[in-house]
Amino acid sequence: MKLARATFTPGVLGGPGFFGGMFELPGGYLKPVLVSSCDGVGTKLKIASVMGKHDTVGMDIVNHSVDDILTCGAAPLFFLDYIAMGKLDSALVADIVKGLSTACQEVGCALIGGETAEMPGLYHGKDYDLAGFIVGIVEKDRIVNGLTIKPGDAVLGLPSSGLHTNGYSLARRVLGETPEALSKVYPGFDRSIGEVLLAPHVSYFKTLQPVMSDVKGLAHITGGGFTDNIPRSLPEGVSVRINTGTWDVPPVFELIQSLGQVAPEEMFRVFNMGIGMTVFVDPSHVSTMLAAMPQARVIGEVTAEAGRKVEIV
């Protein structure tokens, strides 16, 4: 309860402990639009269980959810979590909630409730599941929907911290998921591969919020990689060319590709390959955007080819 209360904003009227969380919409909006999303951490939880480290997966689900609604231009208002396990482990739950609280405070999002379910017939041993539900807000005339994206527009990429929350089924198959496998330190790495895999999902809210007026569209690179996510942000009549070599691919992806003999096209379909968010902007705004976001790279351009395709060259 204390960790949740640390996230409360002025809009919170009722938080954890009651049967429903209550939140009063902030004033100042002419035509406020609510934006919602729900998701889970996925099989990254398997790595957390083997490593015995659960204080970052809460950060994962909050940051993932914040990034999802950010693609519409929305700022987060409040968040709810769902934690399920075979037998209640209060210490484990406390670690998860610590991560939830930390990430919510970073973006001014209230953690107003959730559910902790004990289901011994469904979950066994150290297995558990974690999902999150977020609601954000955006002024109607500031919704980001990609409809103004046109041929010649630039595609910027913001770096990821690693796998984020997707691709772990393939990663676990290639790298293993035993304590011995995850404790291995590969050449060129300064920490165990388990620690690399648990790097928290990046939130791009603070980075992008100051420049949203110049953003035409955003694509959060999650499950489905480049090939499935970028088309979701494109209007009819255009496609995108992504130029590999314009950013540094984190070594964890090169390791997975090498050890698993994974085809390049499959890597870009499953993983973010070091780019967690793509940003579509007019060419005249590129220099301003790069000055505001020095970590960003120009990684491609919008083309006149119909079909909302993604060509990776």
Q: DSSP for 183-229, please give it.
A: T---TT-SS-HHHHHTPPPPP-HHHHGGGGGG--EEEE--TTHHHHH
Report whether pLDDT(244) > 90.
Answer: yes
Summary mean pLDDT of the chain:
94
Report whether pLDDT(144) > 70.
Answer: yes
As to burial, measured by CB atoms within 10 angstroms (0-12 exposed, 13-18 middle, 19+ buried), residue 199 is middle
Average pLDDT on 222-248 reads 95
Average pLDDT on 63-82 reads 97
Reported pTM: 0.94
**Whether 242 contacts 311, CB under 8 Å:** yes
What is the per-residue pLDDT for 8?
A: 85
Q: How far apart are CA 47 and CA 44, in angstroms?
A: 5
What is the per-residue pLDDT for 38?
A: 96
Average pLDDT on 40-55 reads 95
Residue 296: closest CA among 273, 269, 277: 277
Domains of the chain: 2-142 (3.30.1330.10), 154-312 (3.90.650.10)
Instruction: Extract long-range pairs of 188-195: CB within 8 Å, 24+ residues apart.
Output: 188/251, 189/251, 193/252, 193/255, 194/47, 194/50, 194/51, 195/51
Q: For 152, phi and psi rounded to 5 degrees?
A: 100, -15
What is the per-residue pLDDT for 160?
A: 97
> Strand 128-139 and strand 110-118: pairing?
unpaired
The CA–CA distances, whole Å, from 286 to 151, 159, 216, 289, 300 equal 15, 17, 12, 5, 12
What is the per-residue pLDDT for 210?
A: 95
What is the per-residue pLDDT for 240?
A: 97
What is the per-residue pLDDT for 3?
A: 81
Report whether pLDDT(214) > 90.
Answer: yes
Predicted confidence band at 142 (pLDDT cuts at 50, 70, 90)? very high
